[in-house]
Structure 1
Amino acid sequence: MTPTRRQVLCGLGATAFLGAPRMTFAADQMTLGTATITTVSDGHLVLPKSFLLGNLPAAETAPILEKYAIIGDVMHPPCNVTLLQDGDRTVLFDAGSGSGFMPSAGDLVDTLDALGVAPDDVTDVVFTHGHPDHLWGVLDDFDDLVFANAGYMIGQREWDYWTDPDTVTTIGEERASFAVGAARRLAAIEDQVSFFSDGQEVLSGVMAHATFGHTPGHMSFEIRQGSESVMVVGDAIGNGHLAFERPDWASGSDQDAEGGIKTRKRLLDQLAQDKMAMIGFHLPDGGLGRVERSGDSYRFLSEV
């Protein structure tokens, strides 16, 4: 795997949450065999710190957050969509937020345009899971498909969960809108969607791995050519600080906290042991890096 450049693209289409010009970027473009992989910014989220911390002990979390310069009551996690270009295939892993979730997100189409990729060029959209910042970007403001020529792929278990009419009443009040929005968008792609399960090759050189916990059917994807590979982990490893320093702590963003812990520890151990590159949707510097182990903790080592 050969990193080739980090490209910063300024002033793309939208303004930041407080009205200031926003800088968005595609970072860590690399080659993997015949493929080019680029992390593509969809902007960032604006979340209360309590959303991540939940009931974690403040005295123990404070020094970790301070170490990573995370202060105040609001967090701004980046959103990194993975773009894979190989031969006649242009593949997105997740579709971003679109305009319906948060004003600070929804930059994907503009960022792709700056890279010379039009929505109609996209041949495949592969979903890690059905949360708004990963799924809602399939529809534009007129409820038309943004990636009209694409085929869509999602894990069968994840599809079943978000299309179940009972999900809206069982997911909890804070996430009820997630369920309504997911069901509407999945209905829009129903005629163009195909399903997969753990261990299946969803596209040539792309293997699905079950990483349940963040959502009931969350999937990660190993992109491999020859002896080189990179793992697209979605939100299975949801941040660059607590998830690495204390993977045994529950994350408030995981729908199944215990399942999320089990998945996170297993995935971090695998990535560190195999020295495999990874791309995380909410990790810093474009999301591409590697995992280094130190005792029971880990570190995210950015490629930039």
Structure 2
Amino acid sequence: MSLSRRAFLSGTTGFVASAALSSVPTLAHSEMMLGNIQLDVVSDGSLTLPGSFIFETMPKDALAPILNKHNLSADVLEPPINVTLMRHGARTVLFDVGSGSDFAPNSGMLLQSLDALGVAPEDITDVVFTHAHPDHLWGLLDDFDDLLFTEATYQIGQVEWDYWMNPNTVDTIGDARASFAVGAKRRLDVIADNINLFNDGDEILPGVAARATFGHTPGHMAFEVRQGAQAAMILGDCIGNHHVAFEKPEWESGSDQDAETAAQTRLRLLDQLAHEKTLIIGYHLIGNGIGYVDKSTSGFTFVAEDT
């Protein structure tokens, strides 16, 4: 009997999961309801980043007390990867698909996290991308470069699509991110015949509206999920951490491709979210990424929600 590629991967998942879980005792998971919309936040693991990736452009004297307050190293950061799963009626929707196995050694756990909820890749009806950085897009394909979510329809913002599909992007993005451009185009090419493009303000699914949050990437989008008076904002990376992004949102971050625009986006969005007391889900925020924004005299604070 011959094994299909999918069957082979299924057979090896247990070994990979055991190796990954030896350093990660449990798969992080939180669940909430907005009316009859169920949102689950599941783990794709974590990243290990040099602190300079974010902090290089920031004033060191003013940065130090913030890092001390949050018990963070200036040298190494290990942000979580929080993927949002939405179930509403007949739809099972993923917002981003994690890193896959090719980007970071502590990531690529999304399929195990979904399996823990009884969700198989073929159950996913829709995949919506905030943007096309590796830890959000590269989980699209398996180890054989086959599409994982075979029954899904895909959606991404028009501006983001145009940027990563432009053959000149690899030459203009800078050496440090050239592999991002190559990897993004290769994966987006696979779904080019099954992609829906949208713009700011579009209702991309029932109860889900796109919100332009440009700067981290040229066409980055957040998503407001709403039912009646209840709402949650899926942030992606427009607010990329729980420390300096909140306390000093005006500071330019090395993680953003257009740092000036990203800072303006953060300031505007944090002010709105704090004023409206909107529940947020952040891709790299602590506490499974779920919480609220409080405004303080000097900036903002992330208040993690117990769910």
State the TM-score bracket (shorter-chain normalisation).
Answer: over 0.9
AA aligned to 1:48 is P
Quote the residue 1:142 is aligned against.
144
CA distance in 2, matches of 1:171, 1:70: 29
Distance 1:196 1:284, change over 3 A: same
Aligned length: 292
Other-structure match for 2:240:
238
| Residues 49 and 169 (structure 1), Cα distance of their counterparts in 2 relative to 1, 3 Å cut | same
Which of residues 281, 284, 304 in structure 1 aligns to 2:283?
A: 281
**1:291 corresponding residue in structure 2:** 293
| TM-score with structure 2 setting the length | 0.93
Distance 1:173 1:230 in 2: 36
Deviates more, 1:45-54 or 1:22-31: 22-31
Distance 2:16 2:109 in 1: 7
Query: Which of the two has greater helix per residue?
Result: 2
In structure 1, give the amino acid aligned to 2:241.
Answer: N
SS at match of 1:135: helix
- 2: distance between equivalents of 1:27 and 1:269? 28
Q: What are the superposed Cα offsets for residues 167-207 of structure 1, whole Å, 9 maximum, x if unpaired?
A: 00100000000000000000011111110000000000000
Equivalent residue runs for 1:1-304 within 5 Å:
13=17, 15=19, 20-71=22-73, 73-304=75-306
Change in Cα spacing, 1:284 to 1:27, as seen in structure 2 (3 Å) is same
Residue ranges of structure 1 left out of the alignment (5+ in a row) = 1-10
Partners of 1:267 and 1:127 in 2: how far apart?
19
3-state SS of paired residue (1:209)? strand
For 1:24 and 1:271, how far apart are their aligned partners in 2? Answer: 31
Report what 1:7 is aligned to: none
1:85 deviates by 0.7
Structure 2 unaligned residues grouped into runs of 5+: 1-14
TM-score, structure 1 as length reference? 0.94
Q: 1:138 is matched by which residue type in structure 2?
A: L
Aligned 8 A contact 1:14 1:21 in 2? no
- Please identify, of 280-289 and 22-31, the stretch whose mean Cα deviation from structure 2 is larger: 22-31
Distance 1:232 1:117 in 2: 20
Once residues 25 and 301 of structure 1 are traced to their aligned partners in structure 2, the CA distance between those partners, rounded to angstroms, is 22
Distance 1:252 1:173, change over 3 A: same
CA distance in 2, matches of 1:275, 1:100: 37
Matched-pair contact (CA < 8 Å) for 2:140–2:149: yes
The residue type paired with residue 121 of structure 1 is D
